[in-house]
Amino acid sequence: MAADKRPHTHRYEVIRTAVIAIAVIGALLWTAFALLQPAPPRRVVLASGNESGIYHKFAQQYIAILKREGVKVEERMTAGASENMALLQNPASRIDIAFLQGGVVDAAATHDVVMLASLYYEPLWIFYRDPGKLSQINQLEGKRIAVGAPGSGTRALVDRVFLANGLVAANGIARGNTEIVSTGGADALRALKAGEIDAALFVGGAQTPTIQQAMRDPSIKLMSLDRAEAYPRRFPWISKLTLPAGTIDLAINLPDRDMQMIGTKAMLGARDGLHPALINLLIDAAREIHGDQGYFEAAGEFPGTAPVDIPVSPYADQHKRFGPSFLYKYLPFWVATVVERLIILLLPLAVILVPLLNYLPKVLEWRVRSRIYRWYGELSLLEKDVHTRKGDLPVEQWLKDLDRIERAVEQIHTPDKFASEAYTLREHVGLVRRAVMAKAGAAPAP
């Protein structure tokens, strides 16, 4: 009968082993998927700037490049860098990335926003109408000055520079006869040309249409700052810049002399927590768009990850320093992300599962033997009682216990490799039974 049970017993143990292994692997896979970073999103929202500005122009290029990799970039046009920072800091805005500039907010006020890369220099252009030559910002005192629209990067930078020069109070109110006009872009240039204001300040690249028009208008002048070197000492996010003579137009020698200027850096910012794979993709796009030489930038100077005034994403810094990984270099973006996640998932599982699968047979072996050894323990106690008991002998109880142990051993389902241990236990039961009968026969009659 025992021999007939062996095939069934073997299948039973194999099925149980498989169920246990599947359960363990399933639990590990579930844990790994729960802890593993999700796949990168296929859609991101980018806050740019106004329709006539350089941010909008660059946004179109990012949209085209990321589209090649299957990522849709939705552009949301704004008033500029200051509004973009506020949107990034507000989770309800659903903005993922945005164009920013240094000096928009105090570094201590930034939270949950990181810089992915600095993109290019954004000079502060100070155009004015005056019969004399102005070379210091505080010489604008008493004039009507256009400082950019609220929410723009120009306004954010100018407010801090004007405060340092004593043109405005800490609350932003102009001092003395100075009049602050909250307009910027093409409207500010039109007002300056018409003589409605005395000066207009702009922050942006030299290729911006507004800057190009202002440079070519003979009725207005560009201020060259005598104290340009002082500003970076006061504000770490400000850089001293030089626009050499003839840079804008060599034919007419525009400008006609080297212009000393100050400026900050345009940045690509993101809400902290943006997927690393998307960060890498954006850094590569920034290199394609901003990596060439410009009026103020050397070739290869941008994109950069040197801090400006907000924390730098560690993923962006790592990608900038070491470049794309082997997978992203030779595989399409989405294929690389899938392979990368599989590697991240399977390698730790392999480290856990290989020893576990090696150890699992030992666990199962212990479980089978434990069922046999349990009865060995009870049989050993009974045998000791048989040898040491004096006086009245509970022979019937001993025999009942032996029958119970023998029936339990017969019902144990064991693989073939453990069958000999079960047979040996049954033989030991027989030895104890004979010892009981022998002691019962040798006992004196009552």
Residue 433 lies in a domain: yes
Answer yes or no: do 247 and 391 share one domain.
no
Q: How large is the average pLDDT for residues 316-336?
A: 71
Whether residue 48 is found in the same domain as residue 26: no
Decide the pairing of beta strands 179-181 and 144-146. Answer: parallel
Higher-confidence residue of 17 and 23: namely 23
Give the Cα separation of 367 and 414 in Å (integer): 10
Residues 261, 235, single domain; the answer is yes
In a domain, 329, yes or no: no
- The answer on 273 and 145 residing in a single domain is yes
The answer to whether residues 202 and 154 touch, using CB atoms and an 8 Å cutoff, is: yes
| Beta-bridge partners for 269 | 98, 115
Question: pLDDT tens-digit profile of 176-220?
Answer: 899 999 999 999 999 999 999 999 999 988 888 899 999 999 999
Residues 385 and 317 in one domain: no
Decide if 38 is inside a domain: no
Determine which helix (DSSP H) or strand (DSSP E) holds 199, and give its type and residue range: strand 199-203
3-state DSSP assignment of residue 128: strand
Cα of 201 vs its chain's centroid, Å: 37
Q: Are residues 196 and 81 in the same domain?
A: yes
pLDDT at residue 3, as a whole number? 43
User: Based on the domain organization, do 183 and 257 belong to the same domain?
Assistant: yes
* CATH code, 319: 3.40.190.10
Dmax (CA) of the chain = 143
91 and 199, same structural domain?
yes
- 347 domain residue, yes or no: no
Helix H or strand E encompassing 265:
strand 259-271
Handedness of CA 260, 262, 266, 272 (dihedral sign): positive
Mean of the per-residue pLDDT values of the chain: 84
User: Tens of pLDDT along 215-247?
Assistant: 999 999 999 999 999 999 999 999 999 999 999
In a domain, 94, yes or no: yes
Would you say residue 192 lies in a domain? yes
- Count of domains in the chain? 2
What does the buried/exposed string (b/e) look like for 150-163 if buried means 16 or more CB atoms within 10 Å of the residue's CB?
Answer: ebbbbbbbbbbbbe
Q: Are 397 and 259 contained in the same domain?
A: no
> Residue 356 — pLDDT band, cuts 50, 70, 90?
low
The pLDDT, as a whole number, for residue 43 is 94
> Do 86 and 221 lie in a common domain?
yes
Same domain, 163 and 60: yes
Confidence at residue 4, expressed as pLDDT on a 0 to 100 scale? 45
Neighbour-count burial of 28, counting CB atoms closer than 10 A to its CB (0-12 exposed, 13-18 middle, 19+ buried): middle
Tokens standing for residue 320: 């900038």
- What does the pLDDT look like over 83-114, one tens digit per residue? 999 999 999 999 999 999 998 877 666 778 99
Dist CA 50 CA 57 (whole Å): 10
The tens digit of pLDDT for each residue in 108-134 reads 667 789 999 999 999 999 999 999 999
Question: What's the pTM value of the predicted model, to 2 decimals?
Answer: 0.69
User: Residues 171, 288: one domain?
Assistant: yes
Domain boundaries, position 62: 43-324
Structure tokens given for 207? 């290729």
